[in-house]
Amino acid sequence: MTASRTPPFTPLIFACEDEPLVGALHPAAQSTPGSIGGLIVSGGVQVRAGPHRSHVDLANGLAAEGLPTLRFDRRGVGDSGGTNPGFEMAGPDILAAIDALCRETGVEGCIGYGLCDGATALGLLAPYEPRLAGLILMNPWTIDEADNGNSLVMHHYRRRLRDPRQLGRLLRGEIALGSAIASLGSTLGRSLSRVTLDRLRARPRPAILPLGHRLAKALSSFPGPIHIILSDHDRTASAFEAGLHTPAWKAVLARPNVTVQRIGGADHTCSPATAKAAFLRECRAAAKAMAAREAIPA
């Protein structure tokens, strides 16, 4: 039996504000100067390999589609130096990575993929970086600590009421409606009390738009294609979906270059093998269509 061989990649070290960032560059043999590359931005403190090495597999897949692809550790994460400034201050890291990708491969732009707060960091930066030719955002992080509890609860009950099986159970009397309503009221009451106390304890500060609203505002100013991928069983995805009814997000979703795809049976990082395979197929198809300036397949 011949052992499978992982496609080669080149270790890369580049600077971000005088700190060394460590990356891995996956070349694409058929790429030419002026073409499009790929950039993978991990979420949280995930290193460049990604959860379950999914970013290694994704980089190999994008390279196979003709996109030389860079995955890297942000400052203070993995092998990179410096202190992690948080995802909202990760713009310099992403810009340094785009510089390195363009310099090393000759591409003039890239399609950015991000997971969780990596997706949000990409989205917040996108209107200000013309070299970003498209975005693939996986389970974007839009959770504001104080205010998101209520929207998560309501989203949970809306999803249950849309489920034909749950409606059938309700009509057959298998769900205690009174108890469910009491539970919902109690949960909302506790959440509202907690939010009220948090606000009373907080020091006065300038008003800041909620994170989800800021992300929608940024994406509404981005001219390129945007493909949003949501896991079916993920709190972060549920929080994101809970905000899609707002006017800001309705305006984003109404644009012809914005698409949303949900992956059934997937958790936040697509750890089940079937979910991971679906995620990789979805990303490759979207990136290929974006690079060719074609409509993303449904």
* Residue 173 φ/ψ region, left for φ over 0, alpha for ψ in the -120 to 50 degree band, beta for the rest: left
Strand, coil or helix: 290: helix
pLDDT digits (tens, 9 = 90+) for 131-142: 999 999 999 999
Lowest mean pLDDT among 180-184, 226-230, 288-292: 180-184
Contact assessment for residue 101 and residue 29, using Cβ atoms and an 8 Å cutoff: no
Lowest mean pLDDT among 225-229, 261-265, 290-294: 290-294
**Residue 162's pLDDT band (cuts 50, 70, 90):** low
What residues pair up with 230 in beta bridges, in sequence order? 262
The Cα–Cα gap between 48 and 120 comes to 17
pLDDT digits (tens, 9 = 90+) for 264-298: 999 999 999 999 999 999 999 999 999 988 888 87
Question: What is the number of other CB atoms lying within 10 angstroms of the CB of residue 45?
Answer: 11
| Residue corresponding to tokens 């070299």 | 131
Mean pLDDT over 96-108 rounds to 97
Classify strands 36-41 and 19-26 as parallel, antiparallel or unpaired: unpaired
Lowest mean pLDDT among 101-105, 201-205, 210-214: 201-205
Q: Where are the domains of the chain?
A: 10-139+213-291, 148-201
The Cα–Cα gap between 238 and 244 comes to 10
Q: Tell me the one-letter amino acid at 86.
A: G
Q: Tell me the one-letter amino acid at 148.
A: N
Q: What percent of the chain has pLDDT over 90?
A: 71
Strand, coil or helix: 173: coil
Compute the C-alpha angle 89/90/96, nearest 5°.
Answer: 130
The length of the chain is 298
Lowest mean pLDDT among 17-26, 117-126, 144-153, 241-250: 144-153
Q: What percent of the chain has pLDDT over 70?
A: 76
DSSP of 13-71 = EEEETTEEEEEEEE--TT--TTSEEEEEE--TT--TT-GGGHHHHHHHHHHHTT--EEE
pLDDT reported for residue 144:
86
pLDDT digits (tens, 9 = 90+) for 6-64: 568 999 999 999 999 999 999 997 766 679 999 999 999 999 999 999 999 999 999 99
pLDDT reported for residue 295:
81
Class of domain 10-139+213-291: alpha beta
How many Å is the Cα radius of gyration of the chain?
A: 21
